[in-house]
Amino acid sequence: QTLDEMRALRDETERFLLRYKFGMDEVITKLSILREEFNQAHDYNPIEHISSRLKSLDSVVDKMRRKGVEPSFEAIRETITDIAGVRVTCSFVSDAYRIAELLTAQRDIRVIRTKDYIAEPKENGYQSLHLIVEVPVFLSTGAHPVCVEVQIRTIAMDFWASLEHKIYYKYDRHVPDELLEGLTDAARTAAELDARMERLHREVHGAPAHERRSSEV
Ligand code: 0O2
């Protein structure tokens, strides 16, 4: 490969990843607007925290290899839907669904896939609401649709998932059985906590504040 070819490849890689960053920025802006507007209009905050990450090219290539697909820009675009990832943490389960509804109702958002691991937790106990959405990014060359993965979960689900993730990688994906059982048990406790918190929240506010106020309008 010549130096010019290497530079061209580097530029193309940067351009490729930058689009995902822009898509991620669009989704973060939408969520931040919802958060601020909700706070102002209803004096209620359905979002506790928003974080984001762009997958590195190395882990994209690793994931392609795990899936048995030869990496090319085109193949990556079609296969990997979580290069851009946004995570939303809410206090209550009802807020997680509410945010998902408000985001996916926006007309420039196209829902590619939804996985509701809250309604149907994974076998290890993992809970979260996953949306793969496509959002247009407006560049000098026109509008480009970009895929963004949005994970919406409660604080308890997030606490569990971050510990599980660390353990999973510490044991290089082969977690001992007792630890797995401990994690599954902790996931049940987290789900119970969420249910209790939701009940308390409803007792104090009647229906969750957003439902109550929207029905008053
Ligand atoms: P990382 O390191 O967080 O980026 P996919 O191939 O991703 O399109 P998949 O695996 O069916 O298809 O997608 P799914 O189930 O929606 O999960 C995608 C992401 O959800 C994962 O990304 C994790 O971030 C999170 N996730 C899913 N299952 C678990 C789990 O059991 N524990 C924890 N802690 N997180 C989970 P990555 O790329 O696998 O990992």
Sequential pLDDT tens for the chain (217 residues): 789 999 998 899 999 999 999 999 999 999 999 999 989 988 888 999 999 999 999 999 999 999 998 888 999 999 999 999 999 999 999 999 999 999 999 999 999 999 999 999 999 999 999 999 999 999 999 999 999 999 999 999 999 999 999 999 999 989 999 999 999 999 999 999 999 999 999 888 776 555 555 443 3
Residue reference for tokens 């906590």 = 193
pLDDT of residue 207: 63
Ligand 1 center to residue 211 CA distance, Å? 31
CB neighbour class for 165 (10 Å; exposed up to 12, middle 13-18, buried from 19): exposed
3-class DSSP assignment, residue 87: strand
- Expressed in angstroms and rounded, the spacing between residue 160 Cα and the centre of ligand 1 is 14
**Among the atoms of ligand 1, which is closest to the Cα of residue 165?**
34
Q: Which residues contact 35 (CB under 8 A, 6 or more apart)?
A: 45, 46, 47, 50
Measuring from each residue's beta carbon to the nearest atom of ligand 1, which residues come in under 6 Å? 81-82, 115, 122, 124, 126, 130, 161, 164-165
Longest dimension (CA), the chain: 69
CB contact at 8 A, 132 and 184: no
172-210 per-residue burial string, b: 16 or more CB within 10 A, e: under 16: eeebeeeebeebbebbeebbebbeebbeebeeeeeebbb
| ipTM, 2 dp | 0.91
pLDDT (tens digit, 9 = 90+) per residue, 137-163? 999 999 999 999 999 999 999 999 999
Query: Best substitution site from 165, 166, 180 to test ligand 1's pocket, by max atoms within 8 Å of Cβ?
Result: 165
Give the C-alpha separation, 44 to 29, whole Å.
Answer: 19
For the question of residue 149 being annotated catalytic, the response is: yes
The pTM (predicted TM-score) of the whole model is 0.91
- Choose among 137, 103, 105: nearest CA to 26: 137
**Domains observed in the chain:** 3-216 (3.30.460.10)
